[in-house]
Amino acid sequence: MLTVKRWARLIRCLPRRSYHPTCGGDCSCEDVMCEGKKGLVLGAYESCNKGELVLSPEGIKFDETVKGRLSELLRGADVKLGTARVFNGLGDFYGVAVTGLGPEKAGMNDKETLNECKENIRIAAAVGAKALQDQTVENIMVEEFTNAEAAAEGAILGLWRFEEFRNEEERETRPKVALYGEKSNKCLWMDGVIKARAQNLTRRLEDLPANILTPREFVKAALYYLCPCDINVQVRDYKWIQNQGMNAFFNMAKGSCAVPYFLELTYCGGNDNEKPIVMVGKGVTFDSGGLCLKKCKGMSNTELIWLELL
């Protein structure tokens, strides 16, 4: 019969899958495309006349280069917001995805405090890029849809998927994404790229299982990503946590063999006369539910209650 100490030693001897901060299902954003299939995402607005679509300015320019073939293919096509049609063999592209942008006059919705124009662009870019990804297109160019930042956010968020633990042959194509159009706003595009990739990083950390993303690995990820951005990262160990009297936090960590850490992040990028902003995040890699505080009797019923709540 194994004692607790012998069991702990055995667990430490077992091989573990290592976590690497840069691994993930994010696509790359580069101006230079690689070899392989090329795809293009264009937009089309809904028209007052049923069955008619109005191409975006970039779509009209592209239609002229292919001598009107795109507009002919779109006749009678029902491309609403959240849908896309892919046409192959147009111009130099393997596939051209025409995605619905909704009404052209969409704007700020004060009741919902939502800019519907930007949100429609995000949806359209995501749906169009995903439609090309489904056809294993390696290089995807996206027009700016009147707002390059929203277009970048939609495309990169839409192409992301957590696939780290899937077999290589079962993973989806991870295409390169670039902005289409000579006069498009590349600065706004890069702003959207940064915001979308930051969200994808959060999604990845959230999806990683607790036995891979331990507190120690979470600390390594924070140091890897935040230190190059001039953010001061203070790593506090379990002794500091105990000295600060953070008993609730420390007791929650007792349900795991991984020691807890507390991160304190400081960014001094504002003006001297500005008031500081303090943000508190939970950052718990595994919520044990206070297993160390509960008795064994009735433990199964307790876990069933938590499942019902979830």
Q: Are residues 144 and 235 in the same domain?
A: no
Predicted pLDDT of residue 293: 60
Q: Which of 190, 207, 224 is the last residue of a domain?
A: 207
Q: Are residues 197 and 219 in the same domain?
A: no
Q: Are residues 156 and 37 in the same domain?
A: yes
Strands 38-46 vs 93-103: parallel, antiparallel or unpaired: parallel
Whether 2 maps to a domain, the answer reads no
Whether 264 maps to a domain, the answer reads yes
Whether 19 maps to a domain, the answer reads no
Q: Are residues 52 and 172 in the same domain?
A: yes
Q: How far is it, in rounded angstroms, from Cα 176 to Cα 137?
A: 9
* pLDDT lower than 70: segments of the chain: 1-34, 51, 287-310
Contacts of 160 (CB under 8 A, 6+ apart): 25, 26, 27, 200, 203
Element holding 40 (H helix, E strand):
strand 38-46
Structure tokens belonging to residue 125 = 């870019």
Whether 56 maps to a domain, the answer reads yes
Q: Are residues 41 and 157 in the same domain?
A: yes
Predicted pLDDT of residue 258: 87
Predicted pLDDT of residue 139: 95
Whether 185 maps to a domain, the answer reads yes
Q: Are residues 64 and 146 in the same domain?
A: yes
Whether 107 maps to a domain, the answer reads yes
In the DSSP assignment, the letter for residue 305 is H
Q: Are residues 71 and 108 in the same domain?
A: yes
Q: Which of 145, 175, 207 is the last residue of a domain?
A: 207
Nearest to 175 by CA among 277, 268, 41, 59: 41
Q: Which pTM was predicted?
A: 0.80
Q: How far is it, in rounded angstroms, from Cα 198 to Cα 208?
A: 16
Instruction: Report yes or no: 180 and 141 within 8 Å, Cβ to Cβ.
Output: yes
Q: Are residues 41 and 61 in the same domain?
A: yes
Contacts of 26 (CB under 8 A, 6+ apart): 156, 160, 174, 197, 200, 201, 204
Q: Are residues 162 and 260 in the same domain?
A: no
Q: Which of 175, 190, 207 is the last residue of a domain?
A: 207
Q: Are residues 114 and 38 in the same domain?
A: yes
Whether 199 maps to a domain, the answer reads yes
Predicted pLDDT of residue 304: 44
Whether 4 maps to a domain, the answer reads no
Element holding 264 (H helix, E strand):
strand 262-266
The tally of domains found in the chain comes to 2
Strands 38-46 vs 114-115: parallel, antiparallel or unpaired: unpaired
What range defines the domain where residue 271 resides? 211-309
Q: Are residues 47 and 133 in the same domain?
A: yes
Query: 3-state DSSP call for residue 43?
Result: strand
Q: How far is it, in rounded angstroms, from Cα 23 to Cα 3?
A: 37
Q: Are residues 203 and 216 in the same domain?
A: no
Predicted pLDDT of residue 292: 57
Q: How far is it, in rounded angstroms, from Cα 132 to Cα 97?
A: 7
Pseudo-torsion of CA 74, 80, 86, 91, nearest 10°?
50
Element holding 104 (H helix, E strand):
none
Query: 3-state DSSP call for residue 12?
Result: helix
